[in-house]
Amino acid sequence: MSDTARVRNERNNPLNLKVCVLGGGSWGTTVAALVARNAPCTLWLRNPDAATEINVLHTNRRYLPDAKLPESLRATTSLEEAVSSADVVVMGIPSQNFRGVLKDVKKFIRPWVPLISLSKGLEQSTGMRMTEVIAQELPGHPPGVLSGPNLAREIMDGSAAASVLAMEDETVCTGLSSIFQSGLFRVYTNTDLVGCELGGALKNIIAIAVGMGDGLGAGDNTRAAVITRGLAEVTRLGVALGGKPETFSGLAGMGDLVATCTSTQSRNRFVGEKLGQGQSIDEIIDEMHMVAEGVKSAPVVMELARTHGIVMPIAQEVYDVVQGKANASKAFRGLLRNPAGSEAEPG
């Protein structure tokens, strides 16, 4: 280890914490690469060939083509090996598989080890946020979420980016935030766990709507309008569920929404664009090897909106399209038919 790396490790990981990241997709691998610059880090994934590639070639070409991973990052297919000695467990697992992996983690994790979610989805069967699932399955383990406008490939390329680590305990949150900080990747802290987590989950549906508009050939004015009115919907539901209004104006809210709605790297925007071009949702999903959380979250979000009496016209139209009840063109015509009243009101 170079003197520079040693100084960085001592500054960002003064307690010499060991970290494991579960999930070898693009974002899980990227976070593991960031953490490995500050702390001993093990990446768990199911594919033995991918684990060998990471350990020998220091690449994960399926999810991060052309990216070079730190040589200090170690991969394993053994969940026990990854979790049993970890001081922090990071969950880079899609929302619909999250609980199942947690049940397996329970067998090996030591008491009081924090669990940090990277997932930006809601559990379909319960409507729960991932930190709620953590609290239910592993009570006594401090839950948290790392969220923000974070496109994995740009971060691996060294572009400047920022994220938010949210936990209810401010002291624990501050202590852990530096583990993720690396180079031009800045990590802020927030105690509004609910708001930060919902901002990441709800924006995916708006990104599908923006993608549908792009696929239909709508212009920049349309995109800006959908993003802005979408943010209003996200904020209304997020506040009703316990989030703070100001959180939805920050990195985990507006920041993440803008990145996801405008980037060609966004999976949810990609799904919307293909829907706008006339493909069915089944055809689109079959072409993808990564998860677009907005497709799974749409039914959950609409159920939450109905339960709390929140009007979400954009989310409703996306829900109708992904459920096969309407096509993208019909959805956009439906939005245009909504009367425009006060900007402070839904619609």
Q: Kindly tell me the sign of the dihedral angle through the C-alpha atoms of 86, 91, 92, 98.
A: positive
Q: Does the annotation count 203 as an active-site position?
A: yes
**Cα R_g (the chain), whole angstroms:** 20
**Active-site option among 68, 107, 120, 203:** 203
Q: Which residues contact 204 (CB under 8 A, 6 or more apart)?
A: 120, 121, 260, 268, 292, 293, 294, 297
List alpha helices for the chain, DSSP H: 3-12, 26-36, 48-56, 79-84, 95-105, 130-137, 152-156, 170-180, 193-215, 220-240, 256-262, 267-276, 281-287, 293-308, 313-322, 328-337
Edge-to-edge order in the sheet of strand 74-76: 74-76, 41-44, 19-22, 88-91, 115-117, 143-147, 161-167, 185-190
DSSP code, position 109: P
Distance between CA 236 and CA 305 in Å, rounded? 9
Q: Which two tokens stand for residue 24?
A: 């070898």
**Taking a C-beta distance cutoff of 8 angstroms, is the pair 269, 261 a contact?**
yes
**Taking a C-beta distance cutoff of 8 angstroms, is the pair 116, 57 a contact?**
no
Distance between CA 63 and CA 254 in Å, rounded? 26
Residue 32: name the closest of 4, 65, 2, 69 by CA. Answer: 69
Distance between CA 306 and CA 320 in Å, rounded? 15
Active site residues: 203
